Amino acid sequence: MKHDQYKTLITDTAKALGFFHVGFSKAGFLEEEAPRLEHWLKQNYHGKMAYMANHFDKRLDPRLLEPGTQTIISLLLNYYPEQTQQDPTAPQVAKYAYGQDYHYVIKDKLKELLFILREKIGDIQGRAFVDSAPVMDKVWAKKAGLGWMGKNTNLIHPKNGSFFFIAELFVDLEISPDGPIKDYCGTCTRCTDACPTDALATPYLIDASKCISYLTIELKDADLPSEFKGKMENWAFGCDICQDVCPWNRFSKIQQEAAFEPHPEFLNLSSKEWEALSEESFRMLFGKSAIKRTKYSGLQRNIQFLKKEL
């Protein structure tokens, strides 16, 4: 029995919690993704992110990750900021990290969503995911009709661009799936042309080992590879280049989540203040931010590497 009467309840409840789009897909084996993922891993496009090669089967079939799952509920949460960093010469931070760490903010919302659904529906089994498990979130969101996979490998929504987080609820309810939508990238190559490290040399395929986000966050080496000297375009944590140039992001709307508001002093940091940043100031400014993932030493490594480019 399909529980389609719950679709409106789930969608309305999720939107009341701040999610701006919700979609549904049937849990199953991702047959088309299996050879793509295998090829991506064999080419070592994941760099030193060894965890990407773990749990291959579970990554492709959510029913192995969470037995009993019948439906994947995909949810989008906007993070597009009202203001950006004021000093264009200062080390740059990806917009998603301006406010509090999204993992905690979204996980709390998903827990509340699941609690409300259990109160209104009954003893449903569900599990929440926010970019912290072997879940192909962009693929499931695409299957649920929440956008298409752009040439920059980001999910793009036709009315909201791509500055949003993706989260999932795995539930044991059978709900009619929403179908995918058309790819509207067309002949546009702005993202692939703009990538300074050639991480997007092949459209729709990212060599993460060359991505500035990977280099500044995921790569834990003491030094960044010299081959990227002069190519970082002043990014110290993450990178927004392929999103900033995407014409679909003209539809991005200012986010309304208070937790994503940046620390009042952060946006005004000058280039000199970044270079002089102490560990105490780092903890004060970024203690609740995703930026803490790099640790103070990692951020200093990135800033020093940028200085060498000048």
Which of the following is catalytic: 131, 172, 178, 244? 131
How far is Cα 76 from Cα 307, in angstroms, rounded to an integer?
36
Q: Among this protein's residues, is 131 annotated catalytic?
A: yes
Q: Which two tokens mark 175?
A: 């709900």
Residue in 267, 266, 240 with CA at minimum distance from that of residue 163: 240
By annotation, the residues acting in catalysis are 131
